[in-house]
Amino acid sequence: MKVAVVGATGMVGEVMLKVLAERNFPITELLLVASERSVGKKLTYENKEHTIVSLADAVAAKPEIAIFSAGGDTSLEWAPKFAEVGTTVIDNSSAWRMDPTKKLVVPEINANELTKHDKIIANPNCSTIQMVMALAPLHKKYKMKRVVVSTYQSVSGTGVKAVKQLENEITGIKGEMAYPYPIGRNALPHCDVFENNGYTKEEMKLAREPQKIFNDKTFSITATAVRIPTSGGHSESVNVEFENDFNLSDVRKMLHETPGIVLQDNPDTNTYPMPIYAHDKDDVFVGRLRRDETQPNTLNMWIVADNLRKGAATNAIQIGEYLIENELV
Ligand SMILES: NC(=O)c1ccc[n+]([C@@H]2O[C@H](COP(=O)([O-])OP(=O)(O)OC[C@H]3O[C@@H](n4cnc5c(N)ncnc54)[C@H](OP(=O)(O)O)[C@@H]3O)[C@@H](O)[C@H]2O)c1
């Protein structure tokens, strides 16, 4: 496979290269792509130095797969150009997610929707992926009615600039700000930009994307997304009301048996998911399972995952693996 990684110098791009190598992705030729600012710079992949090339040069090389993590505008402009030369694009930005002609894929849930004709495939938002991973088996069995989610999101979700802002604040250096306020010792109820309805774009992604992934509009989701000064992964408090009643031990068993989920749920030993444990792991960690005592058929849980791994790079690479295994590229 000739593979292009677009946004190779970014936060997601760096993890993308790490995960591609770890999973022995069948690369015969690797094209590393970033903005014009980085063209000509060198990056190392599997002990081999690669020179960063421009988007135009990468299109001309006609890779079989291009994995994009370079922002929505770059995807909107360049993904169709790759698709035109026969490349299958797997896109990490929000550019194509809600486009009805594009698939929005979490491989464990809906990779079977993919066909050879899907030339631009969208990777869901990082906080959506970890939430739907835990909700999928439960929705299948008990049928979700309504979800209330509050997120506690890592600065790595904003990109290189935000990680630098937190580092600068910790070390007392005055530098460029990724957020409108300090993030150290703070919590910003503000992830991505505000929309006209008063919600942020991140909150609306959490509300809309799961309906598309599950191909089901019978449930509703309301979200509050908060940025906190962690760097290892995103955490989510999720309250989910089902149509049907559940047994807590069945829920535990089901989550325990779901591939990609790790159950960490034992109050007696203070066992629960935390970003410091999820960091650099591909799994989604679920715990603090409790029946909501104020309402029937309702569950509370806490979900943590590394937003750069399952929330971005790993999910995209799993899509690529599925395409290759099923001869769709
Ligand atoms: N961080 C996360 O948890 C996460 C999760 C899921 C999805 N995403 C999405 O992934 C994308 C990248 O996020 P990130 O956190 O990695 O951001 P980042 O650290 O700011 O990196 C941005 C990358 O995009 C490249 N880029 C910027 N403008 C470009 C252009 N005009 N042409 C070509 N390349 C360009 C940058 O290259 P230079 O170094 O040359 O500027 C860099 O490689 C975004 O769309 C984001 O929404 C991020």
- HEC profile of 256-281: HCCCCEEECCEHHHCECCCHHHHCCC
Q: Are residues 143 and 183 in the same domain?
A: yes
Contact 93 CB / ligand 1 (< 6 Å): yes
Q: Are residues 183 and 317 in the same domain?
A: no
Q: Are residues 183 and 132 in the same domain?
A: yes
Q: What pLDDT is recorded for position 42?
A: 97
Catalytic annotation present for 191: no
Q: Which atom of ligand 1 is nearest to the CA of 52?
A: 40
Residues 302, 67: contact at Cβ < 8 Å? no
Catalytic annotation present for 126: yes
Contact 162 CB / ligand 1 (< 6 Å): no
Q: Are residues 56 and 118 in the same domain?
A: yes
Q: Are residues 297 and 318 in the same domain?
A: no
Contact 128 CB / ligand 1 (< 6 Å): no
pLDDT at 77 > cutoff 90: yes
Which CATH number does the domain housing residue 7 bear?
3.40.50.720
Over residues 138-169, the pLDDT tens digits come to 999 999 999 999 999 999 999 999 999 999 99
**pTM attached to this predicted model:** 0.97
Query: Measured between alpha carbons, how far is 69 from 67 in angstroms, rounded to an integer?
Result: 7
Going by pLDDT thresholds of 50, 70 and 90, the confidence category of residue 99 is very high
Query: Measured between alpha carbons, how far is 299 from 291 in angstroms, rounded to an integer?
Result: 5
pLDDT at 231 > cutoff 90: no
Query: Measured between alpha carbons, how far is 135 from 6 in angstroms, rounded to an integer?
Result: 31
The amino acid present at 116, given as its one-letter code, is K
User: Given strand 103-104, what is the order of strands in its sheet?
Assistant: 29-33, 2-6, 65-68, 88-91, 120-122, 103-104
Percentage of the chain beyond pLDDT 70 is 100
Q: Are residues 216 and 244 in the same domain?
A: yes
Q: 52 CA distance to ligand 1 centroid (A)?
A: 14
Q: 178 CA distance to ligand 1 centroid (A)?
A: 14
Q: Are residues 154 and 294 in the same domain?
A: yes
Q: Residue 57 CA to chain centroid, in angstroms?
A: 28
Q: Are residues 86 and 30 in the same domain?
A: yes
Q: 10 CA distance to ligand 1 centroid (A)?
A: 5
CA quadruple 213, 214, 218, 223: dihedral, nearest 10: -50
Pocket-testing residue among 5, 11, 18, ligand 1, by greatest number of atoms within 8 A of Cβ: 11
Q: What pLDDT is recorded for position 251?
A: 98
Contact 312 CB / ligand 1 (< 6 Å): yes
Residues 75, 98: contact at Cβ < 8 Å? no
Contact 311 CB / ligand 1 (< 6 Å): yes
The mean of the pLDDT values for the chain is 98
Contact 4 CB / ligand 1 (< 6 Å): no
Which CATH number does the domain housing residue 181 bear?
3.30.360.10
The residue-averaged pLDDT of 288-306 equals 98
Indicate which residue's Cα is closest to atom 20 of ligand 1: 159
Domain of residue 252 covers 127-307
Q: What pLDDT is recorded for position 199?
A: 98
pLDDT at 198 > cutoff 90: yes
Q: Are residues 113 and 154 in the same domain?
A: no
Q: Are residues 181 and 80 in the same domain?
A: no
Instruction: Work out how many domains the chain is built from and give that number.
Output: 2
Q: Are residues 99 and 236 in the same domain?
A: no
Q: How many CB atoms lie within 10 A of CB 171?
A: 8
Q: Are residues 104 and 143 in the same domain?
A: no
For the chain, helix, strand, coil in percent to 5 are: 35, 25, 40
